[in-house]
Amino acid sequence: MEKMQNEKFEKKDDQQKIYGQLTKTTLIGLVLMTMLLASLFGAVFGLMSAGAVNIFSLKIGQKIGQYFPKVDLHKINPEVSRQQVIVEDSAVIDVVENVSPAVVNIVISKNIPNAANSFNDPWGFFDPFSSEPFGGSNGDTQTDQGTQKRTIGGGSGFFITSDGYILTNRHVLEDQQADYTVVTNDGKEYVAKVLARDPVRDVAVIKIEGNNFPVATLGDSDVLKIGQTVVAIGNSLGEFSNSVSRGIVSGLKRNLSAGSGFGDSERLTDIIQTDAAINPGNSGGPLLDINGNVIGINVAVAQGAQNVGFALPVNQAKRIIDQVKNGTKISVPYLGVRYVMIDQAVQEETQLPFNYGVLVLRGTKMTDLAVIPGSPADKAGIVENDIILEIDGQKIDQKNQLGDMILKYNAGDVVTLKVWHKGETKDIQVKLEERKQ
């Protein structure tokens, strides 16, 4: 009996040993199989998600950039960053390729007495863009009158019609005794005829004979925003034709006095400031937005400064363009008053009832009358010490100055002035007349 029980226990122990061995083998197999499957699926899903990782990493990079501005996105995803640069450059390249054919060089030449060649040219008739001491001899022609036709300057312009109308700066065409030659983008030369010089704005229109010229599209300078990208094209330094520079709109509604280098100057108002490089010779060339529309006419650069250039808003030129296209005489309206702008400081000093508008006031000389006799203002009954507050319902202030507002009209237009006269405010109808040149 005891022997049978011992055999029974021995069999049970053997079964437990066998079960234990099987259990260990099974566990090891399961672990190995799990590792194998994990590796296999990891590789498969890794390949499947490779394309998504780039996009995901870009979003992570953008999120990180909100909190850590110094993070280099090139290190996170250099390919996406490179593509972004290519897109930005492509937009500028498209603008240049589309508009450059419409941009021209304007060469200024004049008959100069030969005696001027025997000494340093005191009259300013030298080519400031040449490396030669007297402007060089390229293009010079000897005449029978003892003079020599020489290049004395250069500028830029651009086609506004396909039949040869070109917009430029008035100061480029300032010399009425000079001859002007247009050199197109393909190197062809044309004799230019001056059609109009705006006596107030630094704008002029010339024309060459021909058809099917490429035309630059005029934009709307009234919708410009500070910081937006702009492109300038022009005959930089009078030597490097169709030079391109890129920048931003640095400021709007700037006012300054600009000199031409010949001792004269003019006041420019409500102009565009840009950090796009503008050099001598760029004058008259277009300032373009990123869509290739002309939003300004390059006009001046600040001397002694870096990246401070200026352009006339193209909307200021549209009046003269329309007049030239319609074949009408270029006329500039005027009111005929001398005045002082009123602001908070002037109001407090003079105890005036308004802090805006203009006070009609005579100047320091006997001839500096407050109201020009026979002028539109005189005919309308405006007198000294009147305050002109509004034109056609628009307030006159530092942003909307009287002279600039008048220039938006044409000679012959009737405007309504709100005038404070001896303690009473009233509306006065005034018919603008042409300013005598």
Catalytic, out of 198, 202, 289, 386: 202
Beta strands in 222-293 (DSSP E): 229-236, 240-259, 265-274, 286-289
Q: Which residue has the higher pLDDT, 364 or 64?
A: 364
Catalytic residue among 109, 127, 156, 171: 171
221 as an active site residue: the answer is no
Helix (H) or strand (E) holding 433: strand 433-434
Q: Is the pLDDT of residue 9 over 50?
A: no
Question: Is pLDDT larger for residue 247 or for residue 50?
Answer: 247
pLDDT digits (tens, 9 = 90+) for 192-203: 999 988 877 889
Sorted by sequence, the CB contacts under 8 Å of residue 242 that are 6+ apart come out as 100, 103, 185, 233, 234, 235
Which range among 216-225, 229-238, 367-376 has the greatest average pLDDT? 216-225
- Same domain (yes/no): 341, 303: no
In the chain, what percentage of residues exceed pLDDT 90?
37
Q: From CA 214, how far away is CA 340, in angstroms rounded?
A: 46
pTM to 2 decimal places: 0.62
Helix, strand, coil shares, percent, the chain, to 5: 30, 30, 40
List beta partners, residue 390.
Answer: 395, 418
Based on the domain organization, do 53 and 109 belong to the same domain? no
Spatial CA neighbour of 108 closest among 177, 204, 202 = 177
Q: Is the pLDDT of residue 32 over 90?
A: no
The reply to whether 320 and 363 lie within a common domain is: no
Same domain, 66 and 116: no
Taking alpha carbons only, the member of 117, 261, 102, 240 closest to residue 175 is 261
% residues pLDDT > 70 (the chain): 68
> Residue 111: what pLDDT?
81
- CATH number of the domain enclosing 381: 2.30.42.10
* Residue 141, domain member (yes or no): yes
Q: Say yes or no: 313 and 339 in one domain.
A: no
Given this model, what pLDDT does residue 78 score?
56
Residue 143: pLDDT over 60? no
171 classed as catalytic: yes
Q: 3-class SS at 109?
A: strand
Which of the listed residues 277, 295, 325 is the one where a domain comes to its end? 325
- Residue 316 falls inside a structural domain: yes
Shared-domain flag, residues 177 and 121: yes
What is the pLDDT, as a whole number, of residue 48? 41
Annotated catalytic residue within 109, 283, 331, 375: 283
CB-based contacts of 126, cutoff 8 Å, min separation 6: 134, 135, 152
Q: Are residues 263 and 311 in the same domain?
A: yes
Is residue 307 a part of any domain in this protein?
yes
Do 105 and 203 belong to one domain?
Answer: yes
368 part of the active site? no
Regarding whether 190 and 106 lie in a shared domain, the answer is yes
Domain membership of residue 284 (yes or no) is yes
Where b means 16+ CB within 10 Å and e means fewer, 37-64 reads eeeeeeeeeeeeeeeeeeeeebeebeee
pLDDT given for residue 191 in this prediction: 95
Cβ atoms of residues 314 and 302 within 8 Å: no
Indicate whether 256 belongs to any domain. Answer: yes
The answer to whether residue 213 is domain-embedded is no
Number of H helices, E strands in the chain: 8, 22
What's the confidence (pLDDT) of residue 77?
56
Same structural domain for residues 269 and 345?
Answer: no
For 361-379, write each residue's pLDDT tens digit: 888 788 888 999 999 999 9
In a domain, 231, yes or no: yes
Which pLDDT value is given to residue 83? 57
Is residue 94 one of the residues assigned to a domain?
Answer: no
Domains contained in the chain, number: 4
Query: Domain end: 297, 325, 353, which one?
Result: 325
Q: Per-residue pLDDT averaged across 404-426, rounded? A: 90
For position 192, what pLDDT does the model report?
A: 94
pLDDT at residue number 55:
40
Using CA atoms, how far apart are residues 418 and 382, in angstroms rounded to an integer? 11
Do 228 and 248 lie in one domain? The reply is: yes
If asked whether residues 230 and 320 sit together in one domain, one would say yes
Q: Which domain holds residue 273?
A: 224-325
